Amino acid sequence: MSSDAHGSHLDSPLVTPSGLKQPYHLVDPSPWPIIGALFGALVLVGIIMVGNFNNYTLLIIGVLGVAFVMVMWWRDVLRESHTPGLHTPIVRLGLRYGMLFFITSEVMFFVAFFWAFFNFALFPDHVSFAKIAEWPPAGIHTDNPFSVPFLLTMILLLSGTTVTWAHHCLLENDRKGLITGLGLTVLLGISFTCGQLYEYTHSPFPFHGGVYPSVFFLATGFHGFHVIVGTCFLAVCYFRARSGEFTPERHFGFEAAAWYWHFVDVVWLFLFTFVYLWGASAVTVG
């Protein structure tokens, strides 16, 4: 190879641009994952402090910190979605897969609670540490499933129809119907939370009443927490809809919220069927 040829080889670019726009998007470095993990750990330590020392300080700081991280992280995601060229079709497909995997992990989360419930319900005599021979244990009177629990079921089922209506209106470019449907769904979510609070405050058994209250309040309580999260999710979508941020072609934020809300509905149907209805005591209250 001549020196001229060698020199021209060094001067040529090592990578020849293809002219195609990169379809993937790597998000900017964010401090929120590590900060959120630290506040989440603080929540766990705070729960231990409450149980052992009746000290709520760390728990309150942790919960407020997690809420702050959620707001800031969602703010960054919304800003990213408004930047032209970042949320390409492939990126949006990745977001859909991510939401599906997240909901799948949530399903397994509740599988653990149902596993515990059926373990106690079907084999109470095999659980030696609990010292119970029947399910629900003797002395436990459960709520009448066709009183407050049935009302809560109807509220959630109705909310599933209103969020579906809102989605249909969005696809038809009916902005008024979208806003109305989302507003009704948020109100129904708040109503469910208020109804569950009433149920808990009028429960025929206390929080510390043994293995049955532990399983009951963990399963239904975590579902109630998911309802609160879903309500907040839909409330954000409500205000975004009022601002005209959703279009029939681009509205994954709303789709994700609707998927999550339908997941919450389905979990409650399982809770009502097995925990409230099938698992009711011989004598019910209410």
CA distances from residue 214 to 40, 68, 189, 219, 279 in whole angstroms, order as listed: 22, 30, 24, 9, 14
List the one residue out of 169, 181, 160 whose CA is nearest residue 263. 160
**Residue 36, Cβ neighbours under 10 Å: how many?**
18
Asked if 208 and 150 sit in the same domain, the reply is yes
Please give the structure tokens belonging to residue 87.
């949320």
Asked if 65 and 95 sit in the same domain, the reply is no
- Domains: count for the chain: 2
Q: What is the pLDDT of residue 1?
A: 47
Q: How far is CA 202 from the centre of its chain?
A: 26
The pTM of the full predicted model, rounded to 2 decimals, is: 0.85
Asked if 42 and 175 sit in the same domain, the reply is no
Q: What is the pLDDT along the chain (286 residues), one digit of tens a residue?
A: 444 444 444 444 555 554 556 666 667 789 999 999 999 999 999 999 998 898 999 999 999 999 999 999 989 988 888 888 778 788 888 889 999 999 999 999 999 999 999 998 998 877 656 567 788 888 899 999 999 999 999 999 999 999 999 999 999 999 999 999 999 999 999 999 999 999 999 999 988 878 899 999 999 999 999 999 999 999 999 999 999 999 999 899 999 999 999 999 999 999 999 999 999 998 899 8
| Residue 51 identity | G
* Longest Cα–Cα distance in the chain: 99
Q: What is the pLDDT of residue 10?
A: 45
Facing residues of 284 across strands? 142
Asked if 56 and 192 sit in the same domain, the reply is no
Asked if 47 and 186 sit in the same domain, the reply is no
Here the CATH number for the domain that contains residue 191 is 1.20.120.80
For Cα atoms 97, 228, 115, give the angle at the middle one, nearest 5 degrees. 70
Burial 237-247 (b: 16+ CB within 10 A, else e): bbebbeeebbe
Q: What is the pLDDT of residue 243?
A: 94
What's the CA dihedral at 14, 19, 23, 29 to 10 degrees? 50
- Contact of 117 with 215, CB cutoff 8 Å: yes
Domain that holds residue 72: 18-87
DSSP letters for 78-115: HHHHHSTTTS-HHHHHHHHHHHHHHHHHHHHHHHHHHH
Asked if 55 and 132 sit in the same domain, the reply is no
Asked if 96 and 197 sit in the same domain, the reply is yes
Q: How far is CA 62 from the centre of its chain?
A: 19
Q: What is the pLDDT of residue 5?
A: 46
Helix axes 175-201, 211-242, angle to 10 degrees: 160
Asked if 135 and 219 sit in the same domain, the reply is yes
**Residue 6 belongs to a domain:** no
- The alpha-helical segments, DSSP class H, found in 202-280 are 211-242, 252-270
**Residue 266 belongs to a domain:** yes
- Contact of 80 with 237, CB cutoff 8 Å: no
Q: Who contacts 23 (Cβ-Cβ below 8 Å, separation ≥6)?
A: 88, 89, 90, 91
Here the CATH number for the domain that contains residue 30 is 1.10.287.70
| Residue 42 identity | L
